[in-house]
A and B are shown apart, each in its own frame.
Chain A
Amino acid sequence: MNPEIIKPENAVYCRPASFTEVSTHYCPGCTHGTAHRLIAEVLDEMMLKEKTIGVAPVGCSVFAYNYFDTDFVEAAHGRAPAMATGIKRVLPDRIVFTYQGDGDLASIGMAEIMHAAGRGENITVIFVNNAIYGMTGGQMAPTTLPGQKTTSSPLGRDVELQGYPLRMSEMIAKMDGAGYVVRRSLHDPANIRKAKKAVRTAFETQVRGLGFSMVELLSTCPTNWGITPVESLQWVEDHMIPVFPLGDFKVSAAVGDIRI
Protein backbone atom coordinates (compact mmCIF):
# COMPACT_ATOMS: atom_id res chain seq x y z
CA MET A 1 0.00 0.00 0.00
CA ASN A 2 1.20 3.44 -0.82
CA PRO A 3 1.94 5.11 2.54
CA GLU A 4 1.20 8.47 0.90
CA ILE A 5 -2.53 7.81 0.97
CA ILE A 6 -2.73 6.95 4.69
CA LYS A 7 -4.00 10.35 5.74
CA PRO A 8 -6.98 11.27 7.95
CA GLU A 9 -8.75 13.00 5.08
CA ASN A 10 -8.66 9.81 3.06
CA ALA A 11 -10.10 7.58 5.78
CA VAL A 12 -13.28 5.80 4.80
CA TYR A 13 -13.43 3.67 7.94
CA CYS A 14 -12.01 4.00 11.41
CA ARG A 15 -12.65 2.75 14.90
CA PRO A 16 -15.20 4.93 16.70
CA ALA A 17 -13.72 6.83 19.63
CA SER A 18 -16.30 5.22 21.88
CA PHE A 19 -14.70 1.84 21.22
CA THR A 20 -11.72 0.54 23.15
CA GLU A 21 -8.80 -0.82 21.15
CA VAL A 22 -9.46 -4.50 21.69
CA SER A 23 -10.77 -7.25 19.48
CA THR A 24 -14.16 -8.68 20.34
CA HIS A 25 -14.63 -12.30 21.32
CA TYR A 26 -17.63 -12.83 19.07
CA CYS A 27 -17.79 -15.68 16.57
CA PRO A 28 -17.10 -14.99 12.90
CA GLY A 29 -20.23 -13.75 11.18
CA CYS A 30 -22.02 -12.74 14.39
CA THR A 31 -23.83 -9.41 14.19
CA HIS A 32 -23.08 -8.37 17.79
CA GLY A 33 -20.07 -6.51 16.39
CA THR A 34 -22.34 -4.57 14.04
CA ALA A 35 -24.74 -3.72 16.84
CA HIS A 36 -21.85 -2.57 19.04
CA ARG A 37 -20.50 -0.40 16.29
CA LEU A 38 -23.84 1.34 15.74
CA ILE A 39 -23.96 2.27 19.42
CA ALA A 40 -20.35 3.49 19.43
CA GLU A 41 -20.93 5.61 16.32
CA VAL A 42 -24.03 7.17 17.84
CA LEU A 43 -22.22 7.91 21.12
CA ASP A 44 -19.47 9.58 19.05
CA GLU A 45 -21.92 11.62 16.98
CA MET A 46 -23.81 12.77 20.04
CA MET A 47 -20.60 13.29 22.05
CA LEU A 48 -21.96 11.18 24.89
CA LYS A 49 -18.91 9.02 25.60
CA GLU A 50 -17.97 10.84 28.82
CA LYS A 51 -21.43 10.84 30.29
CA THR A 52 -22.61 7.37 29.37
CA ILE A 53 -22.84 4.37 31.66
CA GLY A 54 -23.55 1.07 29.95
CA VAL A 55 -25.09 -1.98 31.57
CA ALA A 56 -23.88 -5.31 30.21
CA PRO A 57 -26.05 -8.43 30.36
CA VAL A 58 -25.40 -12.11 30.83
CA GLY A 59 -25.22 -13.92 27.53
CA CYS A 60 -22.86 -13.72 24.57
CA SER A 61 -22.48 -9.99 25.10
CA VAL A 62 -21.47 -10.45 28.73
CA PHE A 63 -18.12 -8.87 27.88
CA ALA A 64 -19.66 -5.84 26.16
CA TYR A 65 -18.05 -3.67 28.83
CA ASN A 66 -14.65 -4.52 27.36
CA TYR A 67 -15.48 -2.96 24.01
CA PHE A 68 -16.97 0.43 24.86
CA ASP A 69 -14.74 3.19 26.15
CA THR A 70 -17.41 4.36 28.59
CA ASP A 71 -18.12 3.53 32.20
CA PHE A 72 -19.77 0.15 32.39
CA VAL A 73 -21.37 -2.12 34.92
CA GLU A 74 -22.15 -5.79 34.60
CA ALA A 75 -25.65 -6.89 35.63
CA ALA A 76 -26.97 -10.20 36.81
CA HIS A 77 -28.84 -12.21 34.17
CA GLY A 78 -31.94 -10.28 33.13
CA ARG A 79 -31.55 -7.53 35.70
CA ALA A 80 -29.94 -4.89 33.50
CA PRO A 81 -33.07 -2.68 33.33
CA ALA A 82 -33.29 -2.69 37.15
CA MET A 83 -29.62 -1.83 37.48
CA ALA A 84 -30.00 0.89 34.86
CA THR A 85 -32.96 2.25 36.82
CA GLY A 86 -30.80 2.49 39.92
CA ILE A 87 -28.10 4.39 38.06
CA LYS A 88 -30.40 6.69 36.13
CA ARG A 89 -32.46 7.62 39.19
CA VAL A 90 -29.41 8.91 41.07
CA LEU A 91 -27.64 10.32 38.00
CA PRO A 92 -30.49 11.61 35.81
CA ASP A 93 -28.13 13.77 33.73
CA ARG A 94 -26.06 10.77 32.58
CA ILE A 95 -26.94 8.52 29.66
CA VAL A 96 -27.68 4.95 30.68
CA PHE A 97 -28.19 2.09 28.28
CA THR A 98 -28.56 -1.64 28.58
CA TYR A 99 -27.46 -4.14 25.98
CA GLN A 100 -29.41 -7.37 26.28
CA GLY A 101 -29.96 -10.56 24.40
CA ASP A 102 -33.22 -12.45 23.99
CA GLY A 103 -32.70 -14.85 26.88
CA ASP A 104 -31.66 -12.02 29.16
CA LEU A 105 -34.44 -9.63 28.22
CA ALA A 106 -37.35 -11.80 27.17
CA SER A 107 -36.97 -14.77 29.50
CA ILE A 108 -35.28 -14.34 32.84
CA GLY A 109 -35.51 -10.57 32.73
CA MET A 110 -39.13 -10.27 31.62
CA ALA A 111 -40.30 -8.60 34.83
CA GLU A 112 -37.48 -6.07 34.88
CA ILE A 113 -37.86 -4.99 31.24
CA MET A 114 -41.64 -4.70 31.39
CA HIS A 115 -41.62 -2.66 34.59
CA ALA A 116 -38.77 -0.43 33.45
CA ALA A 117 -40.87 0.36 30.37
CA GLY A 118 -44.02 0.67 32.46
CA ARG A 119 -42.35 3.20 34.71
CA GLY A 120 -41.17 5.04 31.64
CA GLU A 121 -37.58 4.85 32.86
CA ASN A 122 -35.59 7.27 30.81
CA ILE A 123 -33.09 4.67 29.66
CA THR A 124 -32.22 3.12 26.31
CA VAL A 125 -32.36 -0.62 25.71
CA ILE A 126 -30.59 -2.30 22.81
CA PHE A 127 -32.24 -5.69 22.45
CA VAL A 128 -30.36 -8.19 20.32
CA ASN A 129 -32.72 -10.94 19.18
CA ASN A 130 -31.10 -13.89 17.45
CA ALA A 131 -33.69 -16.48 18.40
CA ILE A 132 -31.30 -18.64 20.38
CA TYR A 133 -29.15 -18.87 23.50
CA GLY A 134 -25.62 -18.30 22.26
CA MET A 135 -23.36 -18.33 25.29
CA THR A 136 -24.63 -21.58 26.75
CA GLY A 137 -24.42 -23.28 23.37
CA GLY A 138 -27.61 -23.04 21.35
CA GLN A 139 -30.63 -23.71 23.55
CA MET A 140 -34.15 -22.58 22.84
CA ALA A 141 -34.85 -18.92 23.52
CA PRO A 142 -38.22 -17.26 24.15
CA THR A 143 -37.83 -15.89 20.61
CA THR A 144 -36.92 -19.21 18.97
CA LEU A 145 -39.09 -19.69 15.87
CA PRO A 146 -41.73 -22.43 15.63
CA GLY A 147 -40.03 -25.53 14.27
CA GLN A 148 -36.52 -24.14 14.86
CA LYS A 149 -34.08 -26.78 16.05
CA THR A 150 -31.97 -25.98 19.10
CA THR A 151 -30.14 -28.21 21.57
CA SER A 152 -33.11 -28.02 23.93
CA SER A 153 -35.72 -28.31 21.18
CA PRO A 154 -33.88 -30.97 19.14
CA LEU A 155 -36.96 -31.88 17.12
CA GLY A 156 -37.76 -28.27 16.40
CA ARG A 157 -39.76 -25.93 18.63
CA ASP A 158 -43.14 -27.60 19.05
CA VAL A 159 -45.55 -24.81 19.89
CA GLU A 160 -47.94 -27.29 21.48
CA LEU A 161 -45.31 -28.17 24.06
CA GLN A 162 -42.93 -25.25 24.05
CA GLY A 163 -45.16 -22.33 23.27
CA TYR A 164 -44.78 -19.51 20.82
CA PRO A 165 -42.06 -16.94 20.27
CA LEU A 166 -42.52 -13.71 22.23
CA ARG A 167 -42.69 -10.45 20.31
CA MET A 168 -41.22 -8.10 22.86
CA SER A 169 -41.35 -4.88 20.88
CA GLU A 170 -45.05 -5.30 20.20
CA MET A 171 -45.72 -5.98 23.88
CA ILE A 172 -43.62 -3.13 25.22
CA ALA A 173 -45.04 -0.70 22.68
CA LYS A 174 -48.42 -1.13 24.38
CA MET A 175 -47.14 0.54 27.52
CA ASP A 176 -47.70 4.20 28.24
CA GLY A 177 -44.19 4.64 29.60
CA ALA A 178 -42.57 3.67 26.32
CA GLY A 179 -41.51 6.59 24.15
CA TYR A 180 -39.77 4.82 21.32
CA VAL A 181 -39.92 1.11 20.47
CA VAL A 182 -38.86 -0.22 17.07
CA ARG A 183 -37.54 -3.38 15.45
CA ARG A 184 -34.76 -3.31 12.89
CA SER A 185 -32.53 -5.95 11.31
CA LEU A 186 -28.79 -6.24 10.79
CA HIS A 187 -28.87 -8.61 7.80
CA ASP A 188 -27.88 -6.18 5.03
CA PRO A 189 -26.36 -2.68 4.64
CA ALA A 190 -29.67 -0.95 3.95
CA ASN A 191 -31.20 -2.38 7.10
CA ILE A 192 -28.05 -1.64 9.11
CA ARG A 193 -28.34 2.02 8.08
CA LYS A 194 -31.95 2.04 9.25
CA ALA A 195 -30.88 0.37 12.48
CA LYS A 196 -28.25 3.05 13.03
CA LYS A 197 -30.86 5.76 12.67
CA ALA A 198 -33.08 3.96 15.17
CA VAL A 199 -30.26 3.67 17.70
CA ARG A 200 -29.61 7.37 17.28
CA THR A 201 -33.28 8.17 17.79
CA ALA A 202 -33.37 6.00 20.90
CA PHE A 203 -30.47 7.89 22.48
CA GLU A 204 -32.00 11.20 21.38
CA THR A 205 -35.19 10.10 23.15
CA GLN A 206 -33.24 9.64 26.35
CA VAL A 207 -31.26 12.86 26.02
CA ARG A 208 -34.55 14.72 25.67
CA GLY A 209 -36.11 12.89 28.62
CA LEU A 210 -38.91 11.44 26.52
CA GLY A 211 -39.19 8.09 28.31
CA PHE A 212 -38.22 4.51 27.75
CA SER A 213 -36.61 3.70 24.41
CA MET A 214 -35.80 0.30 22.92
CA VAL A 215 -34.39 -0.84 19.62
CA GLU A 216 -34.80 -4.53 18.89
CA LEU A 217 -32.17 -5.74 16.44
CA LEU A 218 -32.69 -9.01 14.55
CA SER A 219 -29.28 -10.67 14.60
CA THR A 220 -27.51 -13.80 13.52
CA CYS A 221 -25.91 -16.71 15.30
CA PRO A 222 -24.17 -18.76 12.60
CA THR A 223 -22.37 -20.89 15.19
CA ASN A 224 -25.47 -22.13 16.96
CA TRP A 225 -27.77 -22.02 13.95
CA GLY A 226 -25.23 -24.34 12.29
CA ILE A 227 -25.04 -22.44 8.99
CA THR A 228 -22.53 -20.10 7.38
CA PRO A 229 -22.48 -16.36 8.11
CA VAL A 230 -23.86 -15.58 4.66
CA GLU A 231 -26.62 -18.16 4.99
CA SER A 232 -27.38 -16.68 8.40
CA LEU A 233 -28.04 -13.26 6.93
CA GLN A 234 -30.41 -14.84 4.44
CA TRP A 235 -32.04 -16.86 7.23
CA VAL A 236 -32.86 -13.64 9.09
CA GLU A 237 -34.59 -12.30 6.00
CA ASP A 238 -36.38 -15.53 5.09
CA HIS A 239 -37.38 -16.84 8.50
CA MET A 240 -37.04 -14.26 11.25
CA ILE A 241 -38.57 -11.20 9.65
CA PRO A 242 -41.86 -13.02 8.85
CA VAL A 243 -42.22 -13.82 12.57
CA PHE A 244 -40.69 -10.58 13.83
CA PRO A 245 -41.81 -7.93 11.36
CA LEU A 246 -39.66 -4.83 11.16
CA GLY A 247 -41.24 -1.51 12.00
CA ASP A 248 -41.97 1.25 14.47
CA PHE A 249 -44.22 -0.01 17.21
CA LYS A 250 -44.22 3.06 19.38
CA VAL A 251 -43.10 6.52 18.44
CA SER A 252 -44.61 8.99 20.87
CA ALA A 253 -45.63 12.34 19.45
CA ALA A 254 -42.68 14.04 21.13
CA VAL A 255 -40.23 11.46 19.78
CA GLY A 256 -41.79 11.83 16.35
CA ASP A 257 -40.77 15.47 16.40
CA ILE A 258 -37.10 14.63 16.82
CA ARG A 259 -35.11 15.66 13.76
CA ILE A 260 -31.63 14.24 13.44
Chain B
Amino acid sequence: MQKELIIAGFGGQGVLFAGQVLAYAAMDSGFEVTWIPSYGPEMRGGTANCTIVIADEEIGSPLVQHPPYAVALNLPSFDKYEAEMQAGGVLVVNQSMVDRISRRTDITCIFIPANEIAEALGDKKLTNMVAMGAMLACLPELSLKDVQTALSNHLSARHKHLLPKNFEALQRGCDFAREHLAAQTAS
Protein backbone atom coordinates (compact mmCIF):
# COMPACT_ATOMS: atom_id res chain seq x y z
CA MET B 1 0.00 0.00 0.00
CA GLN B 2 1.21 3.46 -0.81
CA LYS B 3 -0.77 6.69 -0.86
CA GLU B 4 0.56 10.07 -1.89
CA LEU B 5 -1.05 13.37 -1.04
CA ILE B 6 -0.22 17.01 -1.67
CA ILE B 7 -1.63 19.89 0.37
CA ALA B 8 -1.16 23.35 -1.10
CA GLY B 9 -2.30 26.89 -0.44
CA PHE B 10 -1.13 30.34 0.55
CA GLY B 11 1.51 30.65 3.25
CA GLY B 12 -0.40 31.17 6.49
CA GLN B 13 -3.27 28.84 5.60
CA GLY B 14 -1.74 26.11 7.71
CA VAL B 15 -0.80 23.88 4.80
CA LEU B 16 2.40 22.51 6.32
CA PHE B 17 0.83 21.92 9.71
CA ALA B 18 -2.13 20.07 8.21
CA GLY B 19 0.32 17.80 6.41
CA GLN B 20 2.26 17.19 9.59
CA VAL B 21 -0.88 16.20 11.47
CA LEU B 22 -1.61 13.68 8.76
CA ALA B 23 1.98 12.40 8.93
CA TYR B 24 1.73 12.02 12.70
CA ALA B 25 -1.50 10.08 12.32
CA ALA B 26 0.12 7.78 9.78
CA MET B 27 3.16 7.23 12.01
CA ASP B 28 1.01 6.53 15.05
CA SER B 29 -0.97 4.04 12.98
CA GLY B 30 2.25 2.15 12.27
CA PHE B 31 2.82 3.27 8.69
CA GLU B 32 5.96 4.56 7.08
CA VAL B 33 5.48 8.19 6.14
CA THR B 34 7.35 11.09 4.60
CA TRP B 35 6.43 14.76 4.81
CA ILE B 36 8.35 17.16 2.63
CA PRO B 37 7.63 20.88 2.25
CA SER B 38 8.42 23.41 -0.37
CA TYR B 39 10.98 25.64 1.31
CA GLY B 40 12.94 28.85 0.93
CA PRO B 41 12.04 32.33 -0.29
CA GLU B 42 9.03 31.13 -2.26
CA MET B 43 7.43 30.41 1.12
CA ARG B 44 7.34 34.06 2.07
CA GLY B 45 3.90 35.23 0.99
CA GLY B 46 3.68 32.82 -1.90
CA THR B 47 2.19 29.40 -2.33
CA ALA B 48 3.29 26.70 0.08
CA ASN B 49 2.85 23.00 -0.35
CA CYS B 50 3.84 19.74 1.22
CA THR B 51 3.84 16.19 0.00
CA ILE B 52 2.94 13.30 2.26
CA VAL B 53 3.62 9.69 1.31
CA ILE B 54 2.11 6.95 3.45
CA ALA B 55 3.10 3.33 2.91
CA ASP B 56 3.43 -0.01 4.63
CA GLU B 57 7.02 -0.52 3.43
CA GLU B 58 10.23 1.53 3.04
CA ILE B 59 9.27 4.63 1.06
CA GLY B 60 11.18 5.39 -2.11
CA SER B 61 10.47 8.80 -3.55
CA PRO B 62 9.12 11.36 -1.08
CA LEU B 63 7.95 13.43 -4.05
CA VAL B 64 5.17 12.62 -6.47
CA GLN B 65 4.59 13.86 -9.98
CA HIS B 66 0.95 12.87 -10.39
CA PRO B 67 -0.69 12.76 -6.97
CA PRO B 68 -3.74 10.54 -6.43
CA TYR B 69 -4.83 12.85 -3.61
CA ALA B 70 -4.52 16.60 -3.24
CA VAL B 71 -5.94 19.46 -1.23
CA ALA B 72 -5.96 22.90 -2.87
CA LEU B 73 -6.73 25.73 -0.49
CA ASN B 74 -6.41 28.51 -3.07
CA LEU B 75 -6.80 29.14 -6.78
CA PRO B 76 -3.12 28.87 -7.82
CA SER B 77 -2.95 25.48 -6.09
CA PHE B 78 -6.16 24.36 -7.77
CA ASP B 79 -4.77 25.41 -11.17
CA LYS B 80 -1.52 23.59 -10.57
CA TYR B 81 -2.64 20.32 -9.04
CA GLU B 82 -5.82 19.91 -11.03
CA ALA B 83 -3.59 19.53 -14.05
CA GLU B 84 -1.16 17.19 -12.35
CA MET B 85 -3.64 14.84 -10.68
CA GLN B 86 -3.55 11.16 -11.43
CA ALA B 87 -6.65 9.96 -13.29
CA GLY B 88 -9.13 8.64 -10.76
CA GLY B 89 -7.64 10.86 -8.06
CA VAL B 90 -9.43 12.92 -5.44
CA LEU B 91 -8.96 16.67 -5.27
CA VAL B 92 -10.39 18.60 -2.35
CA VAL B 93 -10.81 22.26 -3.35
CA ASN B 94 -11.46 25.16 -1.02
CA GLN B 95 -14.45 26.55 -2.84
CA SER B 96 -14.23 29.78 -0.85
CA MET B 97 -11.06 30.71 -2.73
CA VAL B 98 -11.79 29.57 -6.30
CA ASP B 99 -14.18 30.93 -8.89
CA ARG B 100 -14.47 28.09 -11.35
CA ILE B 101 -15.37 24.44 -11.67
CA SER B 102 -12.97 21.66 -12.60
CA ARG B 103 -11.85 21.12 -16.18
CA ARG B 104 -11.08 17.46 -15.49
CA THR B 105 -13.68 14.76 -15.80
CA ASP B 106 -11.43 11.87 -14.80
CA ILE B 107 -10.89 12.96 -11.19
CA THR B 108 -13.23 13.42 -8.25
CA CYS B 109 -13.37 17.03 -7.11
CA ILE B 110 -14.85 17.87 -3.75
CA PHE B 111 -15.59 21.58 -3.57
CA ILE B 112 -15.95 22.61 0.03
CA PRO B 113 -16.57 26.15 1.35
CA ALA B 114 -13.83 25.66 3.92
CA ASN B 115 -13.45 29.33 4.84
CA GLU B 116 -17.17 29.71 5.57
CA ILE B 117 -17.32 26.49 7.56
CA ALA B 118 -14.29 27.57 9.56
CA GLU B 119 -15.72 31.03 10.16
CA ALA B 120 -18.99 29.49 11.29
CA LEU B 121 -16.91 27.59 13.85
CA GLY B 122 -15.51 30.89 14.99
CA ASP B 123 -11.95 30.76 13.59
CA LYS B 124 -10.87 31.18 10.00
CA LYS B 125 -7.59 29.46 10.86
CA LEU B 126 -9.50 26.18 10.96
CA THR B 127 -9.81 26.21 7.15
CA ASN B 128 -6.99 23.71 6.83
CA MET B 129 -8.63 21.26 9.22
CA VAL B 130 -11.98 21.52 7.46
CA ALA B 131 -10.32 20.66 4.15
CA MET B 132 -8.31 17.87 5.76
CA GLY B 133 -11.48 16.43 7.20
CA ALA B 134 -12.93 16.33 3.71
CA MET B 135 -9.87 14.49 2.43
CA LEU B 136 -10.09 11.97 5.25
CA ALA B 137 -13.52 10.94 3.98
CA CYS B 138 -11.66 9.57 0.96
CA LEU B 139 -8.61 8.00 2.68
CA PRO B 140 -9.64 4.65 4.12
CA GLU B 141 -6.17 4.07 5.61
CA LEU B 142 -6.58 6.86 8.14
CA SER B 143 -9.70 7.49 10.16
CA LEU B 144 -10.90 10.78 11.54
CA LYS B 145 -10.19 9.31 14.95
CA ASP B 146 -6.52 8.62 14.02
CA VAL B 147 -6.03 12.23 13.02
CA GLN B 148 -7.79 13.54 16.11
CA THR B 149 -5.55 11.36 18.28
CA ALA B 150 -2.51 12.64 16.43
CA LEU B 151 -3.64 16.21 17.06
CA SER B 152 -4.08 15.53 20.78
CA ASN B 153 -0.68 13.84 21.02
CA HIS B 154 1.37 16.32 19.07
CA LEU B 155 -0.27 19.72 19.45
CA SER B 156 1.92 21.82 21.71
CA ALA B 157 0.67 22.39 25.27
CA ARG B 158 -0.10 26.06 24.70
CA HIS B 159 -2.39 25.16 21.80
CA LYS B 160 -4.18 22.29 23.57
CA HIS B 161 -7.22 24.46 24.28
CA LEU B 162 -7.83 24.62 20.53
CA LEU B 163 -8.35 20.86 20.26
CA PRO B 164 -12.18 20.80 20.48
CA LYS B 165 -12.50 23.35 17.67
CA ASN B 166 -9.99 21.46 15.55
CA PHE B 167 -11.85 18.20 16.11
CA GLU B 168 -15.08 19.86 15.12
CA ALA B 169 -13.51 21.34 11.99
CA LEU B 170 -12.24 17.93 10.92
CA GLN B 171 -15.68 16.42 11.60
CA ARG B 172 -17.51 19.13 9.63
CA GLY B 173 -15.17 18.72 6.69
CA CYS B 174 -15.51 14.95 6.75
CA ASP B 175 -19.31 15.11 7.01
CA PHE B 176 -19.48 17.59 4.16
CA ALA B 177 -17.39 15.37 1.91
CA ARG B 178 -19.39 12.23 2.77
CA GLU B 179 -22.62 13.99 1.89
CA HIS B 180 -21.07 15.37 -1.29
CA LEU B 181 -19.86 11.92 -2.33
CA ALA B 182 -23.18 10.29 -1.43
CA ALA B 183 -25.03 12.86 -3.51
CA GLN B 184 -22.66 12.24 -6.41
CA THR B 185 -23.17 8.49 -6.21
CA ALA B 186 -26.94 8.99 -6.05
CA SER B 187 -27.06 11.22 -9.09
Judged by CB atoms under 8 Å, the answer to whether A and B touch is no
B residues contacting A by CB (< 8 A) are none
